[in-house]
Amino acid sequence: MAGVTAIPPALEIDDLHVSVDGREILRGVSLAVGPGELHALMGPNGSGKSTLANALLGNPVYEITAGRILLDGDDITPLPTDQRAARGLFLGFQHPEEVPGVSVFNFLRQAMARRKGIEDYSILEVRMQLIAWSKRLGIVDRYPVRYLNDGLSGGG
């Protein structure tokens, strides 16, 4: 159809090969995730799910021997973990560690400041954004003052 432009994937994995200690674990994985899409990777133990996640986040133990990872059209394959995270790539765990003394609010404030490349993010601006997102997602107002990952069910 003339004049229709395809929306590029938000995340694209192109023929990715990953080795650990010289042993190839992933052999040519390709995946495209469009903006706003949600994908679930499922498979038996040892099928490479965790290896893929670690390779995407740039864990140095996982060597990318071929292929590339594109985030919003940019090749992030050579970037270290912190630069991938600053671009918005994140790994959430099913059973996250609790972090007593660090509130969800302060964690999000620091993450937002890092993402925007600023030293200090306005408390008021963060609070206003949290209120808006809490309403959109149906999250109770007291959640941001809780300690990070405190009392989460892990999906159970």
Enter the DSSP assignment of 10: S
Helix (H) or strand (E) holding 12: strand 11-20
Q: Tell me the pLDDT tens digit for each residue of 35-47.
A: 988 888 888 888 9
Domain layout of the chain by residue ranges: 11-86, 99-148
HEC profile of 39-102: CCCCCCCCCCHHHHHHHHHCCCCEEEEEEEEEECCEECCCCCHHHHHHCCCCCCCCCCCCEEEE
Q: pTM for this one? A: 0.65
Q: Tell me the pLDDT tens digit for each residue of 125-139.
A: 988 988 888 888 888
